[in-house]
Copies of this chain bind each other. A is one copy, B any other.
Amino acid sequence: MKKSSLEDVAKALGVSKTLVSMVLNGKATQYGISKKTEERVWKMVEEMGFKPNATARKLRTGKSNVLGLIVADISNPFYAKIARSVEDAANKKGYHMLICSSDENPKREADLISILADQHQVDGLIVSSTLDDPQMFDKLTLQKTPFLLLDREFASGLFPSVTVDNRKGAEMLVQHLLDKGVNNIGLITLSPSHLSTLKDRITGYKDALKKNKIELKDALLREVSFENLREDIIKEVDFLLSAPHKVRAIFALNNLVALYALEAIHHKGLKIPQDVALVSFDDIELFRFTSPPITAISQPLEQLGEHAMEMLFGLMNNKDKEGVENGTSTNGHRVVLPVELMVRNSCG
């Protein structure tokens, strides 16, 4: 049983495929097709179970109703949740998602962008980029591929983006620790260290210290590598908790770091928050269930998805009009969403 084509339907009715196509696209009236014929078409389409071939349609019209999403790792609950919210928002408009994981590998991400944009030519692209160099996105801009940076952006601020207030969030977290009387705070970030999220969080950390007139000790800012997370974190937790630093709190810059830090602390037989406090940027469900539950910055993941889609559709629709309108580029559109401090019991 082969699938039936437009032509099959047309032949079965003794009409042209033009006519069938017009009916299916709701242009029957516009092209003066009689009500009677239109009904015959619909009936036959139903009867033969005809479904238009999206590939053929895409080739002619340039529209596939497929969007690309590139994240570091779809199995990380943070991105999984984002993906879901993006998917839901996309579905509402009749779109589906090609989802890819870059594994924080710039080469891989560049390849994925090219595959999705140049080869598959998705209608739009959402990237939580691990790239250092914005040239891929300059290229997308030139090619007029509608795209959007999600969660992470570039320093230039030249591209459309939907992000979260990382700087403010980090400051809130550190301020919370200071309010609890903890002021010797180690920070664990991770490579690739050029990511805007990480840089902004570190800035937030410094902001808080400065506002409270606390001296910044560079030795307390530790960086672990994404490829060697677990071991590196064990090492750094050890470093921070031993003399001479004897830190009283650890600020994990994302949920993965927090998780491994938690393990490392437990493994050393230390108690949270008695021996050391632990806070995390990125709240994940897990943190409500750990012992103790971990204080973290919660990001509005559903809103990230919704805003991203809204903006991306804006870009997609403006694509044609661009240049015809005025000089106001659709670039430069940026949304920064507020975050929330979830106070739990990991800070005493």
Contact = CB atoms under 8 A, between A and B. Distances in A.
Contacts of A74: 74, 80, 83-84, 87, 99
A302 to B, nearest CB: 10
A118 B59 CA distance: 16
Contacts of A84: 73-75, 101
Contacts of A12: none
A77 interface: yes
Interface stretch (A46-54, A158-166, A209-217): A46-54
Contacts of A291: 289-291
B259 A289 contact: yes
A285 interface: yes
Contact of A101 (B73, B87, B121, B143): B87
A98 B116 CA distance: 12
Contacts of A87: 74, 99-101
Contacts of A54: 119-121
Given A286-B285, A286-B289, A289-B290, A121 B53 contact: yes
A64 interface: yes
Nearest to A83: B74
A243 interface: no
A291 B286 CA distance: 11
Contacts of A2: 143
20 contacts: A3-B118, A51-B118, A54-B120, A66-B120, A74-B80, A74-B83, A75-B84, A80-B80, A84-B101, A87-B99, A87-B100, A88-B101, A96-B98, A96-B100, A97-B98, A98-B98, A259-B285, A285-B286, A289-B289, A291-B291
A81 interface: yes
Interface in A77-106: 77, 80-81, 83-84, 87-88, 96-101
Nearest to A292: B291
A96 B80 contact: no
A56 interface: yes
Nearest to A301: B75
A270 interface: no
B98 A66 contact: yes
Contact of A81 (B64, B75, B116, B259): B75
A125 to B, nearest CB: 13
A66 B58 CA distance: 15
Q: For A83, A100, A289, which residue has the most chain B Cβ atoms within 10 angstroms?
A: A289
A114 interface: yes
A55 interface: yes
A142 interface: yes
A115 interface: yes
B120 A55 contact: yes
A80 B107 CA distance: 23
A260 to B, nearest CB: 11
A262 interface: yes
